[in-house]
Structure 1
């Protein structure tokens, strides 16, 4: 294991050790910038749970999310609760139907994680790219092919 991987693992270990404080800070940052999402800290799952309705170009999207250092690979799991959206690699979804908003290796800052409040605007971008993909059959957003 190289030095950067060791340091990143140490950061994640600290987030796990102080999970409640870590999630409380994430919750406060999201609430400061985004009024449309309701968040709570689940002591049972040691995660930040959120639900809200996002209006994009006159259409409402119900957003569900979970954020935790105990999640495997990446902290976030962000979903659009819409039965019309089906799994397709071209529209940047994981198999669990969570949104693929960034590449978990190439887009993550070195020695760091991506705070939830920085990801929230990416949901709107994903929706816009999804709507364009439905019209034109092409994903116009930046991407690294899966």
Structure 2
């Protein structure tokens, strides 16, 4: 195993060993800045769960998320549930229809995890680019092709 993978596994293990504190810090940081999303810690599932209506213009977007070091390489799973989304590789969705907000290797890097507070603004950016994609057929946001 190379040193980067060893370090990556060590970071994930620290987050898993201290999952309650780790998720509490993530929850506090998000709540201090964003009042539209309500978060709670699911102690049985060892995850942070969030739900809220993100208002953009005259439309509300229902966002549901899970954030946990037990989710795998991507700690986050973020969904918009009140719009009809169908998988299309050009609109930056994973197969489970969760949002692809960053490149898990290039943007996240091998030795750090992106905190939830940094991801929350990316949800509105994703929506804007999605609406533009529907209109023009081209993803206008920054991207790394999958």
Range class of TM-score, shorter chain:
over 0.9
CA distance in 1, matches of 2:71, 2:83: 24
CA distance in 1, matches of 2:6, 2:46: 23
Q: Deviation of residue 82 (structure 1)?
A: 2.4
Q: Deviation of residue 87 (structure 1)?
A: 1.2
CA distance in 2, matches of 1:6, 1:58: 47
CA distance in 1, matches of 2:138, 2:111: 34
- 2:50 equivalent to 1:32: no
TM-score w.r.t. length of structure 2: 0.97
Corresponding residue SS for 1:65: strand
CA distance in 1, matches of 2:37, 2:83: 20
Aligned partner of 2:78 in structure 1 is 78
Corresponding residue SS for 1:131: helix
Structure 2 residue ranges without an equivalent (≥5)? none
CA distance in 1, matches of 2:144, 2:109: 16
Aligned partner of 1:59 in structure 2 is 59
TM-score w.r.t. length of structure 1: 0.97
CA distance in 1, matches of 2:54, 2:103: 23
Aligned partner of 2:118 in structure 1 is 118
CA distance in 1, matches of 2:82, 2:52: 13
Q: Deviations over 1:94-141 (max 9, x none)?
A: 000100000101111441100000000000000000000011000001
Q: How many residues end up aligned between the 2 structures?
A: 146
| Contact in 1 for aligned 2:5/2:110 (Cα 8 Å) | no
Aligned partner of 1:105 in structure 2 is 105
| Contact in 1 for aligned 2:61/2:83 (Cα 8 Å) | no
